[in-house]
Amino acid sequence: MPRQLNFDLPVTPDYARDRFVPAPGNAVALTMVTDGRPWPAQKLVLSGPGGAGKTHLAHIWAKRAGATLIDAQSLQGQDIMALATAPLAIDNVPDIKWLDSWPWRRC
């Protein structure tokens, strides 16, 4: 019986707008990050299951808005108030384990 060969090839994600595949579950979010209209309170939260396109949408918006895109696990030790003075996208927010210790979370 033939044996399948496995190749450990690098995968480079392509987060370009033209590589995003709209679907019924993410079409509204795509419109929100691309149509240029202001968001309520100037903030937008994208939530959904893994593979829904949240990271891809964050990259599309960050490029369009000239924003900083940072992974949540990289936030610890950062000057968050300084980061928040400019357009900012935070990816993987549920991964912020230390966030519960912040005093404002108890408000």
Q: What pTM, to 2 d.p., does this model score?
A: 0.79
Share the mean pLDDT of the chain.
Answer: 87
Per-residue pLDDT tens over the stretch 13-29: 999 999 999 999 899 99
Q: Which helix (H) or strand (E) holds 71?
A: strand 68-71
Look at residue 65 and tell me whether its pLDDT is greater than 80. Answer: yes
Please say if the pLDDT value at position 94 is more than 50.
Answer: yes
Longest dimension (CA), the chain: 64
Minimum mean pLDDT among 20-34, 56-70, 86-100: which range? 86-100
